Structure 1
Amino acid sequence: MTLYDILGVTPDVSSEQIKKSFRKLSKKYHPDVSSEKSVDYVKIIEAYKILIDEKKRKEYNLKNGIVDTFQSESLKNNRNGIFIIPNSRIEYSLSLENLLKNKIKIATNFKHKDYQFFIGQDIVIYIKPMELKSGAAAILEFPARMVCPACLGRKRDCYRCHGTHYIKTVEKIFFHIPRNVKNGDILEINPRDYTKNAIHIRSHTIKIRINIIED
């Protein structure tokens, strides 16, 4: 479980949102107002102190392999000399928009391999020749679930997970694009190879199509 999980936020959260989440948790779990024993308030304070401090937060992210998605826009597109593909050039073919575009009628038993057959890939990344030459990567997002950070998967009447023991989240992975790819190449990855044990992503192969576009 990460410090972000303890505060109930994601790694791309702003400082203001961190403060807001901390205030909300304090009102609920501070020892002066709550007798709740399943939540360690000291851990909430420790998580807040690190994540609210930009320097400590960056050090924590680096140590734990968490993408610094909260940093300024000017830095987002270039990390350690690697160009980060903008989200506007990452197309998720499994979105409702793309399924409708391909006129696929979705039945309850319509499986991943079925719609992948019709569309051909799960994700399309649009990259420019110079970006590919200098080195590029994409931050890909996948729906996932994790053990509820509020009750640790133990309470039936939990306010956060409502007794399901898990909460829905979005897992981001840092995907390096090979420099030798050609236009139209389809790469295959398993998102679970990029995640931590606390995160649960459906285990199937994801196909990524690389489209090289003009500068």
Structure 2
Amino acid sequence: MSESKNTLTNAVHDLLRKAIIEQALKPGMRLPEDTVGEQFGVSRTIVRHALVRLENEGLVITRRNRGAFVAEPSREEAQQIFEVRRCLEHEVIRILCDRMPESGYDQLNAHVRLEQGAKGKDGPVSIRLAGEFHVLLAALTGNEVLARYVSEVVLRCSLIMSMYARSHSSDCAVDEHSQIIEAIREGDKDRAMHIMGHHLGAVAGRAELSPKPDSISAILSHYGKELAQ
């Protein structure tokens, strides 16, 4: 692929990814190559390459003879993604407590200021910025493989939140991000990991990933146990 085509593919990929993460493009929505190409003024070939990249990131799925769609992760897949994310982000904390780049804290604090500026204004933008904080943390480890995996699971978590989340608390997210930065600065690995674990648990908790009861008996069984006591 020529350099100009690669640049266009990157641009289309980044714009589509942003539209998915900011919930403008909803899970299950079809992404026709011709329509996307017309809107961005690029060829279907460019769009196809961008969609393949998004599929590799788990944000898009391709259905035989039907084209590309925004992915719709199942609850089971979502739970697995959150489990992997916790493992990866604990490793990020461990590394950063041992070695943080000189400009790392300035970059993190600058990003938190962006998050504070978005508080209470735009939920989808807050969700995107919250995810980007975790991607930045991973990038600062200097481990490109770890950073790539974290970026992928964070993106997929953002998609999961758009499907299953009851709400997004930007106040809580920004406050805990600041606490994580401070704990890393103090070299307090245990505290930083504890805050991160609580933080990711709260994010997962806002996504209703447990199967919903589908009958009156299932709903009332829990309350019946109380009566039997």
Q: Normalising by structure 2, report the TM-score.
A: 0.26
Higher relative CO (CA 8 A, sep ≥ 6), structure 1 or 2? 2
Q: Normalising by structure 1, report the TM-score.
A: 0.27
The structure where strand makes up a greater share of residues is 1
The structure where helix makes up a greater share of residues is 2
